Chains A and B, each alone.
Chain A
Amino acid sequence: MSAEWERVCLLDDLEVERGVTALVHGQAIAIFRTHDGEVHALGNYDPFARASVLARGIVGTRGGVPFVASPMHKHAFDLRTGRCLDDETHSVPVYDVAVEDGVVLVGRRKQAVA
């Protein structure tokens, strides 16, 4: 049992290709479930718009990369790495996620992938 993992919801609460926001350690985290069954967790804060909104964006693929388009100005973020697909210099943090017994858990922030 570790404080590093926080249960946020049931997997069934996540609709395919639609996000939810979770409050994890006092922070807003956007959680997405993609068509292939993967679950991803990103910081909810859109660094361009400076607003906590990413979970409300449209989810899809760009050249095979799963991404979310920010609802604010449509910047696309790679769901796996948090990297902005439109602007290399920006990214959002990504978090570990696990699904156990139908429960979605969010862990710590991943190291930036070089």
Chain B
Amino acid sequence: MTHQRSTLVVVGHGMVGHRFVQAAIERGLTETHDIVVIGAERRPAYDRVALTSFFAAESADELSLLPEGEYDDPRVTLVLDAEVTEVDRAGRVVTYVSPAPGDVAEPLSNPGRVETIAYDALVLATGAAPFVPLVEGRDKDGCFVYRTIEDLEAIRVASATATSGIVIGGGLLGLEAANALVQLGLETHVVEMAPRLMPVQLDGSGGATLVRHIEKLGVTVHAGVLTEAITGEDSVAGLRMRPAGTEEGAETSTVEAQVVVFSAGIRPRDALARECGLDLAERGGVLVDEQCRTSDPHVFAIGECAAPAGRMYGLVAPGYAMAEVVVDALREGPGTFTGADMSTKLKLLGVDVASFGDAFATTPDSLELVYSDAVAGVYKKLVVAESEDGSFRLLGGILVGDASAYGTLRPLVASGIALPANPEELILPASRGSIELGMPDEAQVCSCNDVTKAQVVHAVAEEGCEDVAAVKTCTRAGSTCGSCVPLVKNIIEEHFASVGKVVDKGLCEHFRLTRQELFDVVAVHGYRRFDDIVEAHGTGRGCDVCKPAIASILASQFNGHVLDSDTRRLQDTNDAYLANIQRNGTYSVVPRIPGGEITPEKLIVIGEVARDFNLYTKITGGQRIDLFGARMEELPAIWRRLVDAGFESGHAYGKSLRTVKSCVGSTWCRFGVQDSVGLAIALELRYRGLRSPHKLKGGVSGCARECAEARSKDFGIIATEKGWNLYVGGNGGAVPAHARLLAGDLDTETLISYLDRYLMYYIRTADRLQRTAGWIDSLEGGLDRVREVVVDDALGLGAELEAEMARHVGSYFDEWQATLEDPDKLSRFVSFVNAPDTPDPAISFTEERGQIRPADSEGPVELGALIPVGAPAEGAVR
């Protein structure tokens, strides 16, 4: 039986339009429908919620929700840079212009190509547009809105030549925009008509607490003022304002600025709907019913352009819910949209702010519980109601300065379960997290993606998810704003505890402690020997897991020689012989070539050594040279030659710094803006020999072309006109990760202090064999946490971490040179204890392309044949 296929047209490819298409594909709607999406922006949907991170991103692609640029379902067609200009409801045809007319100021310059398409069903997902109040001078050059990537690009360009900027509007979006201006280095002002910031979410005290935080960051807040005019000739020179509530002619004040960003609210983009005669809500927005159907049954509206029951929702989660409802409606399912949680939790300019439920205590007979600590800048309020049985229910609340309780509190509102007897304990700092709260299964854990506790538990219990990352992939919980991640983590742990599964975070059977705990134990007690540690804090004699881990901890803290008598038997394979073992039991030799720079003389020495010892020679992926095929007993002689020629260990064998890769940089390259080779060498020499939980790699590129691939390194530095951008948490390997911006435009001194802190913080707290990317993901708060510790010095650890690094730098020595000088250490480099110079007969080579290679192994050697089997003769000693 063949079905007639229907055509579904979606207008707008923003966050909600995209989610709609995703859901349509996932739920099989494309089996019966061809989908055509028409979007006015040049690029496919991107993460508008994370818009501000555009400044930190290397390219706009990082925000993309559809990085491939198209859906992999061939029944979906994406038409971008095209604006729908008309909907003919009677004929069921939409008309669109491509490319989109763009700047409405000059429509004639871009008449575009006009096309039409017939639909069976139409989904409007046109979003909202920033509201620009009718202020005199609002058209001047230097005035912007804050909604699209193009807006941000324009703001960035203008900021390059500006010194100060003003944001009009002190709501959620205005503070986002203020954050952006601060990041762009502008002296920043926020102008708000209401007497406090975030008037929609916060009460007076909460708003005042927020102002104090924000002013500490250098942002000037002008609350309770009216904007009279934007001054300047053609372009912005400043802004004139007067106190709210005063008449025109009252005394005004003026702030100078070259950039003005309007962020005074949004308006639904409902023009298309209005023009084709669909019903609109009183306050704007396309009026839709519970199935998100407009007054025309063939037309739906979702996201910020829609007004279910007359109400518009300026958050992404309700839009996602509407998208699901429409997919359902088109499949004749039962889904309805009956309102959404408008809770918000944000980090605004580094300050935690959350507002949820009935934050303003509008419910009759509700009570407010307030905790406020002006010194610490914390304000917390709970709105509760007493029920008939005398217990309390949580209705809503506000958290400023510390929103850590948000994850626990918000679901309590939704589920309506009874609070503990002293509900104030929920916000008192001492008891944070100590209260056990049974949460019902149907409680919503992730509001962005509408995931319940039951779904998280199901993912863990039935689908084998063992950690937050797996649950994220499986359920989407935690993948949007991230505020529910701590709660998801708790649920996972609670579940494991309930089924009696010990989530053993201990290192191995010998230690119940984690690597981080062991690190602290060693630091506190000053242990230097494995035996003391295992006796005091472990059991047994250790193994191949805990011994190298402890060796690494000892090396990070004391920087002794890894082959010292107390530590050498702890070392992992490669550390044990200061070389990398190869498949046939021989070793490779990698001298350090910092930054990849090498003199011809040194190159010749490497060539001579390789020739004289008959070693296979290869240029590595790390910009240096590897010499393979050295027998263990040959290593000292090889290194003698190399050390004499001025080489030192390259630590290719250690969980330690490998290389800091560099491009040629400003010295030679016509595009280079900084000396990347110089910096790479300085960093490689600074961090050489630093023992760490996993290997560390760095890279330095001399300009944004990024020839050093710095962003695939644990720390990557990219030169800018003004200094250096520091990226962290990148790696190649099996699970590649792109490093992300930690801080921008740093001078060299600041860069090094941040790097010192970052690396030491990693060494202190990471798990064994956890690379920086995984470590950052494992921290609560992720990259933001790293930034707090490293850049904002929120833990006050900065000086200590730097001092630890200074100690490392000061105590560095070349391991190979020290080995050559110490007969005791050298004594281990023998093939046989009873025949020190006899080559191991198990090793043999053949030739390939003019160099040696291991001979193919012929299978196990029969050791038994040569040695008589049976009971030894009594007291037989030769």
Contact = CB atoms under 8 A, between A and B. Distances in A.
B509 interface: yes
B869 interface: yes
Contact of A108 (B510, B832, B867): B867
Contacts of B841: 26, 28
Given A18-B568, A111-B869, A58 B833 contact: no
A8 to B, nearest CB: 5
Nearest to B577: A56
Most chain-B Cβ atoms within 10 A of its Cβ — which of A13, A28, A31?
A28
A58 B544 contact: yes
B838 to A, nearest CB: 6
Interface in B373-395: none
A60 B540 CA distance: 8
B860 A8 contact: no
A102 B442 CA distance: 72
A51 B583 contact: yes
Given A5-B877, A26-B841, A109-B867, A17 B832 contact: no
A16 to B, nearest CB: 7
Contacts, number: 159
A50 B859 contact: yes
B833 A31 contact: yes
B544 A63 contact: no
A61 B834 contact: no
Interface string A57-84: 1111111101101011010100000000
Nearest to B551: A58
A17 B540 CA distance: 13
Contacts of B524: none
Interface string B841-878: 11100000000000001011101101111101100111
B547 A58 contact: yes
A26 B831 CA distance: 13
B840 interface: yes
Main secondary structure of the interface of B (DSSP, over half): loop
B869 A56 contact: no
A45 B863 CA distance: 9
A-side interface size class: 35 or more
Contacts of A76: 544
Nearest to B827: A13
B433 interface: no
Interface in B512-544: 540-544
A21 B833 contact: yes
Contacts of B569: 15-18, 58-59
A56 to B, nearest CB: 6
Interface string A18-61: 10111111111001001100000001110101111100111111
Given A24-B867, A58-B544, A96 B838 contact: no
B834 A1 contact: no
A41 B570 CA distance: 20
B878 A108 contact: no
A2 interface: yes
A108 B541 CA distance: 28
B867 A27 contact: yes
Contact of A60 (B542, B585, B835): B542
Contacts of B878: 1-3, 5-7, 105
Given A21-B831, A109-B864, 8 more contacts: A8-B833, A8-B834, A15-B568, A22-B835, A43-B863, A50-B857, A61-B540, A71-B581
27 contacts: A2-B873, A2-B878, A5-B872, A5-B876, A7-B834, A7-B877, A8-B833, A15-B569, A17-B541, A20-B832, A24-B834, A24-B867, A25-B867, A27-B866, A28-B832, A34-B541, A52-B843, A56-B581, A57-B544, A60-B542, A60-B544, A62-B543, A105-B878, A108-B868, A108-B870, A109-B867, A109-B869
What 8 pairs across the A-B complex have the smallest Cβ distances? A69-B544, A2-B876, A52-B842, A71-B573, A60-B543, A50-B857, A20-B833, A51-B585
